[in-house]
Chains A and B, each alone.
Chain A
Amino acid sequence: MSASLNILGELSYWQQTGIRVGAGLAAVLLIAGTLVYLHLFKLVSFMQSRLGPMEAGPFGSLQLLAEVGKFLQKEDIFPRKADRFVFAAAPFVVLMSTFLLVVVVPGGPDAWFIDTELGIYLAMAVSSVSVIGILMAGWGSASKYSMLGGLRATGQLIAYELPLILAVIGVVIQAGTMNMQGIVFAQAEGSIFGWGGIGNPYILTQGVAFLIFMVAMQAELTQAPFDMPIAESELVSGYMTEYSGMRFLLFFIGEFATAGVFSAIAAVLFLGGWSVPGIDPNDNIMNVLGPVVMLVKIVGLTFVVFWARFTFPRFREDQLQRLAWKVLIPLALANIVVTGILKVAF
């Protein structure tokens, strides 16, 4: 095991980058595909007493491939008054922010894309880029519905960036570092009042921050109950209304890929990332087991996200904004104060 990893270290720069790019693409797309099948097609169908797709492949497992094929052969429609460059570039901007986000997520003690001291700071900064993409989509579609959707999205996403970041600061204070690997090790090697059995997953001490992060994450993904930008019964599809074919598929995949990546970040911050209680985090086996553990945690967190999405009705935008500014931000600030005090006291 260690021999093969040493070989990897001796590859040239471009070969290493090639592997990283390939692994990044696989990490995003495979996770998106798994989440779409498992959650969107199957689990929510069971919540609604129905079976979901069953014809394509055994138990409908190849349905996503069938959908990709269907979208690829559709006509690429440009509305006549649409701003062609803005309209065409919007899905790529949204997807690009997801790929940039996945590079900070570690998969094992040596399986990472980049290992920088900026870590979570870089992630939060990059996640704001998708707001521009959505606004481009809303404006470039030259349609009143899309414009409404784009404007609603901008207001909502900017408002919920703040609770997201403030919730993360509590974790950073407790871990003492912004480096994602450092946060994982701090949880894996930590102890609760002296007992090191399960390490120190920050969900126990930062429970309030975890809840704020999950709510803000739901809003960042524009999932119900925060899906005003896509409000299906009013705006048909919001900023995505005029898109068809491959571009719509890019938005669709982007939505699920972002859900997966944000859940990965939440798993790293609060659930201990790729570490498993009982196995030494420096062990080489974690390079293989780590991504599997991450996948399990991602599936668990996204299940909660989609469970809430398919159960709750949606907020109106002024109620949304009130929730963000008047409830979540004060809570997050209080959490930071308490964490700081306790960190210094103990």
Chain B
Amino acid sequence: MGLVPGLIKGLGVTGGTMLRTIFPDGWKKPIPNPVKGAETVQYPHEKEAPPARARGVIALHEENCTACMLCARECPDWCIYIEGHKEKAPPRRAGGKPRKVNAIDRFDIDFALCMFCGICVDVCPFDALFWSPEYEFSEPRIADLLHDKSRLSEWMETVPEFEPYEAGSEAKVKKVPAT
């Protein structure tokens, strides 16, 4: 502590913070500019971009989904509702048997229940679910927080590309399928 009592030093900390907030450019430009110096982000006029991995909302790539129900089973809140039916798709080669494929009728995620844990995205074996950092989807009615198939497919446009990993990593960077 020395000769200056702690009280005066404490005043120095707050006074210094105040001066740094009012004059963020230091001695060089003594023009008051607190909007730049303060840490406040004035939402909704200015918005901070969340990182690419941020868990904002879940997007569905419909072509990959086979209604295997793994995501609906593993969800801790049971907030995914899937209904599907089997239909006949044309054979892969000419002259072969028609194949049975699963088609989804209904794929709803209730974001009022969702915990945003990501288990559904992890367990999907066909890479049909992706995370998107979009977070501005609040609704005046709770029932509107149930996103249906078409809305989930719309979120695919906001899914960012997977980022490259740090040096020393052995993981391979996955690709987001083109919509």
Contacts and interface: CB of A to CB of B under 8 A. Distances in A.
Interface of A: 43, 45-51, 54, 307-308, 310-312
Nearest to A308: B11
Nearest to B40: A51
Given A50-B38, A307-B11, 19 more contacts: A45-B38, A46-B17, A46-B22, A46-B37, A46-B38, A47-B15, A47-B17, A48-B17, A49-B21, A49-B37, A50-B39, A51-B35, A51-B38, A54-B42, A307-B14, A311-B11, A311-B14, A312-B7, A312-B10
Contacts of A51: 34-35, 38, 40, 42
Interface residues of B, number: 17
B31 interface: no
Contacts of A50: 38-40
A47 B11 CA distance: 10
Contacts of B13: 311
Interface string B10-45: 110111011001100000000000110111101000
Contacts of A308: 11
A98 B106 CA distance: 70
Contacts of B10: 311-312
Which secondary structure dominates chain A's binding surface?
helix
Contacts of B35: 51
Contacts of A43: 18
A311 B6 CA distance: 11
Contacts of B40: 49-51
Nearest to B7: A312
A49 B35 CA distance: 10
A307 B15 contact: yes
Contacts of A49: 17, 21, 37-40
8 contacts: A43-B18, A46-B18, A46-B21, A48-B17, A49-B39, A49-B40, A307-B15, A311-B11
